[in-house]
Chains A and B, each alone.
Chain A
Amino acid sequence: MSFLSQLINGLSVGSIYALIALGYTMVYGIAKMLNFAHGDVIMVGAYTIFTAVSMLGLDYWIAIILSVVFCTVLGIVIEKIAYKPLRKASPLTVLITAIGVSYLLQNIVLLIYGSHQRPFPKIISVKSIKIGENLVISGEAFFTMVITIVIMIILTLFIKNSKTGRAMVAVSEDKGAAELMGINVNRIISITFAIGSGLAAIAGLFFASTYGFIGPYSGAMPGIKAFIAAVLGGIGSIPGAMLGGILLGVVEGLSKAYISTELSDAIVFSILIVILLFKPSGLLGKNVTEKV
């Protein structure tokens, strides 16, 4: 395969990471917590589609909508039950709770569907696009990239131009002052989880379509990689998550092609170490100087 087609593969996987990283970064920016259960929401989203299509025989579009709605509600419910009571607890407590929620989701799915991998229905049937002599973009990769770009544009416009978007920026900057302006901080946090989880459902669809199989632990790896993507771009920054996700996907794709498939994950994870050592605030993050 040519360099260009490797690059396009990387961009396609990268846009999935970017979608997931958006959920991490928005929740971090607004609720100041790392929601490590976010990756498992992707897996739940993929299982929802699997159940709807392969088990219940529903239409693809209905399955996708069902999955987005289910994950959105799941995100809100997780926040209300597991994180909201810990609003004033230490970050470590919240982090451990998030890991607990992650295991809970994995084990619920394990209990219902068993441990073996399930074939994911082929939902995205877009024709491959042939450009020139030897560059072929698979329909899935194309579809993934286009939808991701559309979602990112909508999200950016929403945050920049709507009342709720402004309130989200305000809450991420200063919760106390936002509350004194009469902004319902709990509602804004709920909306953030809802958006993040809805995006996770779409990421779940793309991820499962790309790899063809799903299992109860399918969400863990893309989840952790998207977290690295969010840190790479600057956690809390929305353009950062988009950039970080795409960069990470490209690095992973190219390492698989030109260095070694076995080593590609190690390379991706070492990015986290390098970024934390040399630019802890990430590529687009702001350097925060603590006031002494």
Chain B
Amino acid sequence: MATPRTQLRRLMDYAVLSVLAFVFTLPVTYLFLGSLKPSDEVLNGLSGFLPTHLSFDNYFAVLDALNSESTGYFWRFMGVSLLLAFVVVTGGLFVNSMAAYGLSRLKWRGREAVMTLILLLMLIPFESVAVPLFYMFNDQRNTLLIQALPFIANAFSVYQFHTFFRSIPPSIEEAARLDGAGPWRTFFAIVVPMSKPAFASVAILTFLIQWGSFLWPVLMVSDPSVRPLPLEMSVFQGQEPLDWGQTLAFGVLLVLPVLAVFAFFQRWFVQGVANSAIKG
């Protein structure tokens, strides 16, 4: 089987892939290395890649710099981002899966019309409602609530759950319902535990989008006490004098939570993205 020729081929494959992956991830390497280097060595030509004078000083400096009422507190930015992500993800899972169940498994007049409405709303990107929303909720600026609320109900999530629920054989639910379980109990006790892959992939996708969310905070948040991390990142890198080491350390702290989620739930995520795409 493993003739010298196929072995050589395999070796070539690895070589090509390694070179490509190395080049492709250079910016990431640069981010992590630079965050550990003194600032004057970061923007310093190709020697920015040399692992010299490594320390965590930049990280402590960021936490030190963002530690007052006027600049805001780093852990508060992080806390705001985590809280918003938590509310949007869990609230979204609850509300959207429930809607998808009511629309795919319970038979009632008008459900097709409601589903069509949701599919139509799916066509409207958030960008095209950002301006009127900004105007409608202008007196709610700088609150946590208005940062989370518009993103809980999500047409695409409903659609993803809807496709998933329709692929479950109905016999299991029928049995539960014949035993006297109502639709709510059937959903929460039987359908939800069966649908972990769908919940995982919707949760991860929602988390990813919410974590990087930028447009809405730009419009709605000026107060550092409710500012999420990505917005603070742009504020931080726009201040003079710019400290590159600290900026990159900030960047690492911004990306670590989402990298962790990605590392742990990669399979679910990739599967979820792929499934929704193929069926869509």
A in complex with B: no
Q: Which B positions have Cβ atoms within 8 angstroms of A?
A: none
Q: Which A positions have Cβ atoms within 8 angstroms of B?
A: none
